[in-house]
């Protein structure tokens, strides 16, 4: 899934698509703007409704480009189709810690993503607006237990105060890199076993029909 442009080269670049999902008003746009442009409540940008923003980072000497997709508010009309999250390497599921209903919506999104993308997609759950801790209605323990149950990592964030956001994207990116490496390894070992199988066929073909039997049937009485 990841566009790993130069294989295992030390300076290889990864390209990951990350989608932001969650109910309207939980702070998705604010989180991505804070992360990519270090801005909050920028009227010009918030009305821009860009489909995605790019963020380049460096992890352990590897260059990574995150293509972070934000909705243009379609979620408010329940009009967000699979085309939005297709081919995603990662998803950030955002809820507002002062809004229990927005946490329930995260659960719906997780189900939807797992159904459509399987377990390959890396998930991060963000409990946003922790600057409003006094108004919290979603218990941290519940959110954390839920995240563990679906193989996601839970983060506490505030786009307003710039808390927890770098950490969230860094950890998510690390996991996406790990998945990409695993997928690469699986693909190359499949390739190897494929050519090994082909070799066996060639050897079998060369065995004269009446000659000594080799391979798995060697030594068996006929
Ligand atoms: P969305 O993209 O999920 O729809 P937005 O959400 O990023 O548009 O944010 C919705 C409202 O929540 C905005 O307020 C925004 O300023 C506010 N918000 C976003 N993140 C935080 C946060 O961390 N803390 C607090 N206190 N508010 C936040 P307005 O008033 O512009 O609608
Ligand atoms: Mg938005």
The number of the ligand 1 atom at minimal distance from the alpha carbon of 161 is 23
From 19, 22, 25, the mutation candidate for ligand 1 (largest count of ligand atoms within 8 A of CB) is 25
Task: Indicate which atom in ligand 1 lies nearest the CA of residue 76.
Answer: 4
Q: What is the pLDDT of residue 160?
A: 97
Predicted local confidence at residue 63, as pLDDT: 95
Q: Which sequence spans correspond to the domains of the chain?
A: 13-182
* Residue ranges in the chain whose pLDDT is less than 70: 1-12, 42-50, 195-222
Nearest CA to ligand 1 atom 19: 27
Q: CATH assignment of 13-182?
A: 3.40.50.300
In tens, the pLDDT along 147-202 reads 999 999 999 999 999 999 999 999 999 999 999 999 889 888 888 877 555 554 44
Cα–Cα dist 161/201, whole Å: 64
Q: What is the pTM of this model?
A: 0.82
Going from the Cα of 41 to the center of ligand 1, the distance in angstroms, rounded, reads 8
């Amino acid at each position: 899934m990841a566009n790993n442009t130069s294989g295992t080269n030390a300076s290889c670049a990864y390209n990951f698509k990350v989608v932001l999902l969650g109910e309207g008003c939980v702070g998705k746009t604010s989180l991505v703007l804070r992360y990519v442009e270090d801005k909050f409540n920028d009227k010009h940008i918030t009305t821009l409704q860009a489909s995605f923003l790019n963020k380049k980072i460096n992890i352990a000497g590897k260059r990574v480009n995150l293509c972070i997709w934000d909705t243009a508010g379609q979620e408010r009309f329940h009009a967000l189709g699979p085309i939005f999250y297709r081919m995603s390497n990662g998803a950030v599921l955002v809820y507002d810690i002062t809004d229990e209903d927005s946490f329930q919506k995260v659960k719906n999104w997780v189900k939807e993503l797992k159904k459509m993308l399987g377990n390959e997609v890396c998930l991060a759950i963000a409990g946003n607006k922790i600057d409003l801790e006094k108004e919290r209605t979603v218990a941290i323990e519940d959110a954390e237990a839920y995240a563990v149950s679906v193989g996601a990592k839970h983060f506490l964030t505030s786009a307003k105060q710039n808390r927890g956001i770098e950490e969230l994207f860094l950890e998510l990116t690390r996991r996406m890199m790990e998945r990409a490496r695993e997928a690469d390894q699986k693909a190359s070992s499949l390739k190897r076993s494929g050519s090994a199988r082909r070799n066996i066929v060639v050897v079998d073909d060369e065995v004269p029909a009446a000659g000594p039997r080799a391979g798995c049937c060697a030594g068996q009485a006929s």
